[in-house]
Chain A
């Protein structure tokens, strides 16, 4: 299996622009997680899905963030409008309810 796939790997954008991060989970996994990692706050869970349904979005920082999972093999995390404080590494992870596997992350820089 190819593991969890994320794109893009790096994104540099200007404040106010829309940013879309993409994730393909491991085939057969029915849980998908979005995390954010910064030096100040460490690794934070933003939202997770089970069978394509959002279960807990309490970690989403504000309304500028939204996440969707239209099918079992694809999810997006969107930030609109982006701000410099959104700069971080965003990880996607998936699991079958037990062991969780992480993607390589997207390093986002908002200027």
Chain B
């Protein structure tokens, strides 16, 4: 089945800095989602982005399906951005199962 790998596993930033999180997947995907798990444990949808580029405030994401990767950009980071960022994908067979990466743990220091 499809495999999803994220990098880096951990990231520490000073408030105001920019960052790029990467998600590689081993096969063609029909769905690619980015989630933020905040320090209270809630999983929040950031982007549904099987291809192309989307922006939402300080966050944007790009998926290049033909090259099997997606990037999440965080600009002008804030302490509230801290938490774990997951990417997840359905394989091309689209069984309905999202395959999650192991996550990137982000800490933004004031």
A residues touching B (Cβ–Cβ < 8 Å)?
Answer: 31, 33, 42-43, 45, 48, 50, 55-56, 89, 91, 95, 97-102, 104-105, 107
Report whether A105 and B31 are in contact in the complex, using a CB–CB cutoff of 8 Å.
Answer: no
A-B contact pairs, 12 of them (CB 8 A): A33-B98, A43-B86, A43-B100, A56-B96, A56-B97, A89-B41, A99-B45, A99-B48, A100-B33, A100-B98, A104-B42, A107-B41
A42 touching B103 in the complex, CB below 8 Å, given contacts A55-B96, A99-B45: yes
B102 sits at the interface (CB 8 A)? yes
In the docked arrangement, what's the CA distance between A97 and B21, Å? 26
B residues touching A (Cβ–Cβ < 8 Å)?
Answer: 31, 33, 35, 41-43, 45, 48, 86, 88, 95-98, 100, 102-103
Report whether A48 and B97 are in contact in the complex, using a CB–CB cutoff of 8 Å.
Answer: yes
Partner of A99 from B31, B41, B100, B102 at Cβ < 8 Å: B31
In the docked arrangement, what's the CA distance between A96 and B100, Å? 18
Partner of B41 from A45, A50, A105 at Cβ < 8 Å: A105
In the docked arrangement, what's the CA distance between A45 and B103, Å? 16
Report whether B96 and A105 are in contact in the complex, using a CB–CB cutoff of 8 Å.
Answer: no
Task: Name the A residues within 8 Å of B41 (CB-CB).
Answer: 89, 104-105, 107
Report whether A31 and B96 are in contact in the complex, using a CB–CB cutoff of 8 Å.
Answer: yes
In the docked arrangement, what's the CA distance between A25 and B88, Å? 20
Q: Which of A31, A50, A97, A99 has the most CB of B within 10 A?
A: A99
Q: Which of B31, B95, B96, B97 has the most CB of A within 10 A?
A: B96
Report whether A98 and B100 are in contact in the complex, using a CB–CB cutoff of 8 Å.
Answer: no
In the docked arrangement, what's the CA distance between A31 and B43, Å? 18
In the docked arrangement, what's the CA distance between A55 and B103, Å? 26
Task: Name the A residues within 8 Å of B97 (CB-CB).
Answer: 45, 48, 56
